[in-house]
Amino acid sequence: MLRTGILHPQLARVLAEIRHMDTLIIGDAGLPIPKGVERIDLGWKEASPGYLEVLEEILKYLIVEKATFATEAKEVSPNFHKEALNLLPSDIPVDYVEHTELKEKSKDAKAIILTGEFTPYTNVILVAGCAY
């Protein structure tokens, strides 16, 4: 048994398999999962685990070189979005796309992590960086 770190076996495996330029999405409870994309469903009740909690923990393990959010996040959930931005490394580029485009881009993700978050537009595409 692991003493610390990511204890969820599927999530730990996916994080270990991610390579440079792979994308990983952290999403709210309602984000649809395209066929063929691995689903890691962490949510077990409303707000648990929360989007920000999951994002913060994933960033402890994953090197991220870029992040993409839905444009709507800035308007619909601005405080939540600012908190998410503050968790990201300060030196990475952040861009925005319409939510429909974010869902389209999710078809190419290595995996999508669903949280128990019910706050609208709390989804982010993380592009993996390289450790060297």
DSSP state of 9: H
Distance CA(99)–CA(91), nearest Å, equals: 24
- 23-27 β-sheet, strand order: 38-41, 111-114, 23-27, 124-128, 64-70, 94-97
DSSP state of 79: H
Among candidate residues 8, 20, 81, 99, the one labeled active-site is 20
Distance CA(126)–CA(49), nearest Å, equals: 19
CB 70 within 8 A of CB 123: yes
DSSP state of 6: -
20 is catalytic: yes
| Residues known to be catalytic | 20
